[in-house]
């Protein structure tokens, strides 16, 4: 499936009249796809430049992640071995001057590790360690946590269903030719299923500030962007007695557009620990690095392609493949 997406995207981009396009530099809308983190309502990076009144923008995102980790201590143990697919339809509408509303509608699949062999071969090719992958069976799904006091979760079969829907409102408080900043508030509703790891079973609320600075270069454009957010996380139905009810998250990125149809980007995303645990998979802060770019597919259409890696090992999936098709009306 991923190969087909990449081939189709390449064919489309080769056939387009590039001279007619203009490309905006925007952040990757990516998140920590580790199953216990994905179900929490952390803010996601978005462009701080909001839509004009009456303007609608759409985003269809597909994120595919693969995780394989096995860890234990004297009183708790965890296995996260599987693959997660999230397809998200995002809508953003300029409601009034400086005010934008939106919704994210996700569909989540928890699947066996179809990419296990590919990732192991990739690690071997570049001399990267496979860590716990060598000790876990290929092409299986197993999300399992247990604690001596009885806290646990377990999922050993493939599932899919609607995820937790996010409702978003954003206020533009700075917008100049070179700089933009906005404040974003979001509510995550418990529309997914905690037993299937498509949702948390609880309400989450987040508030985030995002900003960007653009630079005109002798060759193309460049931009720096960042954001910082705080979240109140409801207990939900997954390790409800171990959830950290307050979390901090943020992102920092840069991009360069040397051509009117191409941008190269990299971005760091991180979040504080989401659960009270001595195991780094759920009890440590997470740091994710995403590299990739944006292709212009028309005057109002772009395609983001990114590859994410966990810099803080096992706190996020080994690999996240990110695709986001964006269009403005």
Task: Provide the pLDDT for residue 272.
Answer: 97
Number of domains, the chain: 1
Task: Provide the pLDDT for residue 318.
Answer: 86
Task: Provide the pLDDT for residue 138.
Answer: 81
The answer to whether the beta carbons of residues 168 and 185 sit under 8 Å apart is yes
Range of the domain at 212: 2-328
Task: Provide the pLDDT for residue 85.
Answer: 97
> Can you list the positions of beta strands (E) in the chain?
56-72, 76-96, 99-111, 142-147, 152-155, 159-162, 166-175, 179-188, 204-216, 221-233, 246-259, 262-271, 286-296, 301-310, 319-328
Report the distance separating Cα 270 and Cα 315, nearest Å: 10
Instruction: Output the tens digit of pLDDT for each of the chain's 329 residues.
Output: 444 444 444 444 444 444 334 588 999 999 999 999 999 999 999 999 999 999 999 999 999 999 999 999 999 999 999 999 999 999 999 999 999 999 999 999 999 977 777 777 776 776 666 666 767 788 889 999 999 998 899 999 999 999 999 999 999 999 999 999 999 999 999 999 999 999 999 999 999 999 999 999 988 999 999 999 999 999 999 999 999 999 999 999 999 999 999 999 999 999 999 999 999 999 999 999 999 999 999 889 999 999 999 999 899 998 899 999 999 99
Report the distance separating Cα 175 and Cα 210, nearest Å: 12
CATH for 266: 2.40.160.40
């Amino acid at each position: 499936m991923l190969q087909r997406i990449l081939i189709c995207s390449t064919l489309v981009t080769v056939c387009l009249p590039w001279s007619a396009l203009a490309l905006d530099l925007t952040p990757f809308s990516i998140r920590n796809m580790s199953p216990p983190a994905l179900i929490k309502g952390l803010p996601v990076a978005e462009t701080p430049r909001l839509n004009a009144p009456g303007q609608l923008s759409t985003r269809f995102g597909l994120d595919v992640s693969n995780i394989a980790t096995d860890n234990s201590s004297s009183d708790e143990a965890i296995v996260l071995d599987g693959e997660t697919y999230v397809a998200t339809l995002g809508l953003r509408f300029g409601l009034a001057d400086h005010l934008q509303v939106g919704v994210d509608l996700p569909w989540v699949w928890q699947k066996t590790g179809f990419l296990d062999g590919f990732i192991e071969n990739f690690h071997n090719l570049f001399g990267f360690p496979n860590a716990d992958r060598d000790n876990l069976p290929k092409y299986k799904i197993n999300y399992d946590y247990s604690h001596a006091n009885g806290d646990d979760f377990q999922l050993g079969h493939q599932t899919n269903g609607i995820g937790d829907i996010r409702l978003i409102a954003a206020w533009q408080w700075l917008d100049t030719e070179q700089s933009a900043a906005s404040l974003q508030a979001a509510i995550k509703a418990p529309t997914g299923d905690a037993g299937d790891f498509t949702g948390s079973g609880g309400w989450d609320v987040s508030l985030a500030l995002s900003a960007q600075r653009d630079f005109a270069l002798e060759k193309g454009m460049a931009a720096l962007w960042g954001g910082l957010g705080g979240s109140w996380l409801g207990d939900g139905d997954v390790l409800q007695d171990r959830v950290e009810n307050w979390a901090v998250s943020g992102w920092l990125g840069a991009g360069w557009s040397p051509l009117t149809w191409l941008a190269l980007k990299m971005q760091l995303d991180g979040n504080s620990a989401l659960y009270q645990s001595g195991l780094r998979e759920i009890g440590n802060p997470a740091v994710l690095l995403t590299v990739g770019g944006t292709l212009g597919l028309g005057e109002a259409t772009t395609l983001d392609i990114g590859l994410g890696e966990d810099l803080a090992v096992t706190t996020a999936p080994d690999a996240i493949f990110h695709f986001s098709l964006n269009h403005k009306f």
